[in-house]
Amino acid sequence: MNLTLALTPSQRNDARAALALLAPVGITLEQAARIALGKRAPKPSVTVAKVADEFLRSRLTEGCRPATFDWYEERLNVIVAHFGDHIIDGITRGDFKKWLEQSSPSAAARAGTARAARALWRYAQHHDPSYVNDVITDGLTFQAPSATADGSKKFLPVDTCEKILKGVPTFYHNAVALMLFAGIRPEEIAGERKEWLKWEHVNVTEKLIRVPAEISKTGQARLIEGLPDALWAWLRPTDRATTISPHNIRTVIGAVKLASGLRKWKQDGLRHSFATYAMGLHNNPGLVAVWLGHNGNPTMLYRHYRGLVTKSDAEKFFALRPK
């Protein structure tokens, strides 16, 4: 049977138009169809390591928060250590799940690695559709860590906080104190935004801090009052127009990591420590939520930070003073 006889007039017109388009490149209509179906066009041999490097570079170019970049870098390094030389499109969902279940000791680790992998594969898919056909984590479920278990890993012990305060250069004390004893977000102090927190926003006499909308992560201005005495003991104000931090937050956190002596830094560790010890001292999620600039239900803070430290530990934390 002649198949052309089965074509509708519209299909024959499409075929003629397609042949006219293909004539200059010298391939047949069948060859074009096979290429479109992925049966002729070989996929580029792109490794996981290469895509991970491209992904991280894109995060930097797009102004990713230092803490977020470090989070991705840490987890992608784990993936690259095992799959780095593998062609990214050759890794199956089963391969990934089996490796993850065998290599990750906890639900928290599995959830974090899966989240990073999902971001990597989605980047590959959008950056160049020829890299991968689908996202290998789609359809996989991993138990998320409980709020309390996750929160317990984020705060720093009192002795580590003391090491940081003693070990960082004195010109970083102001920035560190605002994160550690006021819970100010790192990016609000000296992030990638055009505006950094300045001394004109900190009133040492009245003991209050104003975070303008253009600096606030949420885009909403907030007034912070009633903060602990430890904060004011560490602050050393300069000219009102001067920024709190002399350098960007990535540099500050680098000094903090070095002073802490920790091999693995806890993301937003200073801010989380403030929240944890403030809850331990006051047991008042509403108050701590206001300090942190949380617009949500204070119940979330209650679940995340309550019961992680004793009141005695909290008192030791807020008793830290310059020598």
User: Which pLDDT belongs to residue 142?
Assistant: 52
Residue 211 has which token pair? 């975070």
User: Which pLDDT belongs to residue 168?
Assistant: 93
Question: Per-residue pLDDT tens for 189-230?
Answer: 988 766 899 999 999 999 999 999 888 887 888 999 999 999
pLDDT band, residue 44 (cuts 50/70/90): low
Mean per-residue pLDDT over the chain, rounded = 82
pLDDT band, residue 148 (cuts 50/70/90): very low
User: Which pLDDT belongs to residue 128?
Assistant: 78
User: Which pLDDT belongs to residue 317?
Assistant: 96
Question: Per-residue pLDDT tens for 64-123?
Answer: 888 788 888 888 888 888 888 888 888 888 888 888 877 655 666 777 888 888 899 888
Q: Which of 39-48, 86-95, 270-279, 281-290 has the lowest mean pLDDT?
A: 39-48
Query: Residue 63: how many CB atoms within 10 A of its CB?
Result: 10
Q: What is the pTM of this model?
A: 0.55
In the chain, what are the domains?
A: 48-145 (1.10.150.130), 158-318 (1.10.443.10)
User: Which pLDDT belongs to residue 107?
Assistant: 67
Sign, Cα dihedral of 113, 116, 122, 123: negative
More confident residue, 45 or 86: 86
Average pLDDT over residues 8-21: 78
